[in-house]
Amino acid sequence: MLRVSLSGARAASRHANAQRLIRLASAAPPLRLNSPRYNSSSVDAARAEAKKIKDKLQADWDAPKLTYEQVKPRTEQPSPDAYIIDVREPDEVIQGSLPSAVNLPLSGIADSLHLNPVAFKEKHGFEKPKRDQEIVFYCRSGKRSASACDVAKRNGYTNIYNYEGSWLDWTAREGKK
């Protein structure tokens, strides 16, 4: 008998809890998926627009490629309005570099491009390139310089070039090792 009354008490308690939940649920406003808070069509449109912008930014990520013949004059007559940037690591630059080139290793280029001009000059020893200034990137074989072009473009630089042959091409044509 005692057992039956405990079971009955549990059932009554469950029933009362269920009734409370039903009252709470009916008091809450209904969830509307097309309300101003959540409009799937505007979210889809915003995503589509963001994708278009992203695709446009990434569509031209390959910078124009320069040949030895195009880079050579830039090394013979350097201009303050243009940079030739070697993105190899300092231990590689010890082997040699293009005349008038400055070193800005790929490993730190993204962080460096975010520095203010004074901090940039203190860290690297040359003026920070302007966003519309001509920049020719090179490395050992042209792969890292392509990555540097991509990083520069994503940071707002617009006048960037990749010396695709890079150091290997330069040394082969100049007769150096």
> What are the residue numbers of the active site?
139
Cβ atoms 125, 104 nearer than 8 A: no
139 is written with which tokens? 């490395």
Cβ atoms 136, 163 nearer than 8 A: yes
Q: Per-residue DSSP letters for 59-88?
A: HT-SPPEE-HHHHHHHHHS--TTEEEEE-S
Alpha carbon distance 123, 170 (integer Å): 27
Q: Which residues are CB-contacts of 161 (< 8 A; sequence separation ≥ 6)?
A: 63, 64, 65, 66, 134, 135, 136, 137, 149
Q: Average pLDDT, whole number, for the chain?
A: 83
65 is written with which tokens? 């490629």
Q: Which residues are CB-contacts of 122 (< 8 A; sequence separation ≥ 6)?
A: none
pLDDT digits (tens, 9 = 90+) for 40-89: 677 778 788 877 777 766 655 678 999 999 999 999 998 888 999 999 99
Alpha carbon distance 54, 159 (integer Å): 19
72 phi/psi in degrees, rounded to 5: -50, -50
Alpha carbon distance 166, 5 (integer Å): 89
DSSP 8-state code for residue 106: G
Nearest alpha carbon to residue 142 among 105, 98, 69, 88: 88
**Residue 134: per-residue pLDDT:** 96
pLDDT digits (tens, 9 = 90+) for 13-23: 666 666 665 66
pLDDT digits (tens, 9 = 90+) for 77-114: 988 889 999 999 999 999 999 999 999 999 999 999 99
